[in-house]
Structure 1
Amino acid sequence: MNILVVGGAGFIGSHMVKRLLVDHHNVIVIDNLSKGFRDAVLCDSFFEVDIIDKVATGKVFANHSIDVVFHFASFIEVGESVKFPEKYFKNNFEATRSLLDIMVQFQVKQFVFSSTAAVFGNPEYSPIDEAHPKHPINPYGESKLMVEKMLEEFDKEYGLKSVSLRYFNAAGADPQGELGERHNPETHLIPLVLQAASGRRDAISIFGDDYDTPDGTCIRDYIHITDLADAHIRAIEYLRKGNQSAAFNLGNGKGFSVREIIDAAENVTNKKIPIRLHGRRAGDPATLVADAKLANKVLGWKPEFTNIRDIIQHAWNWENKFPW
């Protein structure tokens, strides 16, 4: 197939491009490089375009017979979204609306959207399934939920079928060491812990050790990046069989606390990782774990990398390889 990957220069998008190339698809990448890296794009068909620019985006569609669109081009920093909500609504919602308009114009009917567990807000129960109430508590989560709702309307109005995949915590790196996580600034726990192990960071901060969890630190569900890529492949297979639009939660179904991540990282790296203890951050739930049974039942998806040490090992290999 001819597959357009929007945001293909970013962490998840670049791993998706690699998987699609392995599967012998023709891959086209659009990325404005505001967060991504050109050298992370492993295909030749790359266009430095912002999808809010309909003219430039339309030219890409006009020159390629696109069958499927994967959309990863979102801003993801929760704290920044609170400070600059307009930035998040413009990039995450308005730009996506422009992309969908172009898809309708060129009659591209299949779309896979990178969504987030942030659409649920503070959990009312855990693990979190698809029926959990959706009450986002920040502009980041709200912008993603707005896109999910917009996709429902584009389905009704134009027959544009979509799958929204709600990640909990994407983690790890390409097992072959070709790609990895390169956020700037970095906000994800595992790479931050490994930066402390490698000496690029003085210490790792723990925000609160008095939560109602076994060791007092927050528990999160981590999913390996290649397992996420596999879920996207299965989502397209699902749509191409003529199924209806849907949304699925993706996670391991098991949580690990901050201290468990640090302990596992010390074991993998054979290094003592300095810790700085701080008070709780506002809006941090004690536990966020996915119920991914629906993805398993409907998509036949099951994560391969469920051992947190494997996830950390792949991320550590990348931390040691990349010329920071």
Structure 2
Amino acid sequence: MSKVVITGGSGLLGPWVIREFLEKGYEVVNADVKKPEVQLCPTIITDLNDLGQVYGALEGADAFVHTAAIPVAYSHPNEVTFRNNVMANYNILEAAGNLEIKKGVISSSESSYGMVFSRKNLLPKYVPVDEDHPQLPEDSYGLSKIVNEKNAEMIHNRTGMSVISLRLGNIITPEMYKRFPDFIHDPEQRKTILWSYIDARDAATAFRLAIETDNLGAVELNIAADDTSMDIMSKELMAAAFPEVNDFRGELSGYETLLSNKKAKKLLNWQPIHEWRDNIQL
């Protein structure tokens, strides 16, 4: 049995990641600053900004999954968001590398492309946005994700550790689907995230597959559902919200995601299976 330490297991996504690993027979430990509402596995109260505590939390682990972070821009002073997200990520990677842990996954974000929290109405250069799209954030949250991805590359170069950065779309837990009828017919809502979403259960599967897949090195992968979160066809969404963008790098004939997940499917043999239409009545 392999031991996996999951940071942020008391948050929104973390419990779903914990469940995924437990169901597959892993020994799981949650490292978080607070106890979870439901105790799924042992929890070590850990300040991830303290490198010594991170060493203690990772002791004996075979792999780690890092989901803990301030999750959005502007919820805290910019420097607080940047410092917390970068230092926690650095400490996890530094400790894991020195402990000779061979595999890890960190949570990056679609926010790194810059559109999500842009105050200048930044447009996508093309759609679907893939991992090669320019990363042009205006905020410290998006910048922290880019720094974290470079940190993952550095640790891989130094230690050979496989570190996968998952650029997550908007995380949706099952109870959140009830909100969808409020926005699925309004192109202006959710346009800055290109109307993307990812079910927490599918995201959790991606984390597990990233740990189980060998020889990936340091790589960044978009994690999104196959469809948008809207009841409007993707080409119509683009015409309504982003008429200036006409570089379409894939067929848009239905409700296809505009945050490309092809690379993750190919490298992880991953397939999202949860769609919003299966969870609400139109």
Indicate whether the TM-score tops 0.5: yes
User: Does structure 2 retain, via aligned residues, the 8 Å contact 1:221–1:255?
Assistant: yes
CA shift at 1:54, angstroms? 2.0
User: Does structure 1 retain, via aligned residues, the 8 Å contact 2:105–2:166?
Assistant: yes
Residue in structure 2 matched with residue 304 of structure 1 by the alignment: 273
User: Does structure 2 retain, via aligned residues, the 8 Å contact 1:126–1:289?
Assistant: yes
* Superposition pairs of residues 1-324 of structure 1, within 5 angstroms: 1-33=2-34, 38-43=36-41, 45-62=42-59, 65-81=60-76, 84-122=77-115, 123-173=124-174, 193=179, 215-219=187-191, 220-238=195-213, 241-257=214-230, 260=231, 289-306=258-275, 308-311=276-279
Cα deviation, 1:116-147, whole Å, max 9, x if unaligned, reads: 00111132112111111111121111111110
Aligned to 1:140, the other structure's residue is in SS state helix
Which amino acid in the other structure matches residue 244 of structure 1?
G
Aligned to 1:80, the other structure's residue is in SS state coil
User: Does structure 2 retain, via aligned residues, the 8 Å contact 1:168–1:289?
Assistant: no
User: Does structure 1 retain, via aligned residues, the 8 Å contact 2:164–2:216?
Assistant: no
CA separation in 2, counterparts of 1:14 and 1:2?
A: 16
User: Does structure 2 retain, via aligned residues, the 8 Å contact 1:88–1:140?
Assistant: yes
311 and 11 in structure 1: CA distance in 2 versus 1, 3 angstrom threshold = farther
> How many corresponding residue pairs?
248
User: Does structure 2 retain, via aligned residues, the 8 Å contact 1:221–1:254?
Assistant: yes
User: Does structure 1 retain, via aligned residues, the 8 Å contact 2:5–2:57?
Assistant: no
58 and 256 in structure 1: CA distance in 2 versus 1, 3 angstrom threshold = closer
Residue in structure 2 matched with residue 270 of structure 1 by the alignment: none
CA shift at 1:218, angstroms? 4.0
CA separation in 2, counterparts of 1:217 and 1:55?
A: 43
CA separation in 2, counterparts of 1:216 and 1:103?
A: 42
CA separation in 1, counterparts of 2:111 and 2:280?
A: 23
Segment drifting more, 248-257 vs 9-18: 248-257
Gaps of 5+ in 2: 116-123, 233-240, 246-256
CA separation in 2, counterparts of 1:53 and 1:216?
A: 41
Which amino acid in the other structure matches residue 229 of structure 1?
A
TM-score, structure 1 as length reference: 0.70
TM-score, structure 2 as length reference: 0.79
Segment drifting more, 149-158 vs 287-296: 287-296
User: Does structure 2 retain, via aligned residues, the 8 Å contact 1:249–1:292?
Assistant: yes
User: Does structure 2 retain, via aligned residues, the 8 Å contact 1:172–1:312?
Assistant: no
Gaps of 5+ in 1: 174-179, 182-189, 198-203, 207-212, 262-284, 314-324
CA separation in 1, counterparts of 2:211 and 2:99?
A: 19
User: Does structure 1 retain, via aligned residues, the 8 Å contact 2:129–2:260?
Assistant: yes
User: Does structure 2 retain, via aligned residues, the 8 Å contact 1:6–1:70?
Assistant: yes
CA shift at 1:214, angstroms? 7.6
CA separation in 2, counterparts of 1:226 and 1:141?
A: 24
CA shift at 1:242, angstroms? 2.8
User: Does structure 2 retain, via aligned residues, the 8 Å contact 1:252–1:292?
Assistant: yes
Residue in structure 2 matched with residue 271 of structure 1 by the alignment: none
Aligned to 2:74, the other structure's residue is in SS state helix
Which amino acid in the other structure matches residue 42 of structure 1?
L
CA RMSD after TM alignment: 2.7
Residue in structure 2 matched with residue 322 of structure 1 by the alignment: none
User: Does structure 2 retain, via aligned residues, the 8 Å contact 1:6–1:29?
Assistant: yes
- Identity over aligned pairs, percent: 26
Structure (1 or 2) with the larger CA radius of gyration:
1
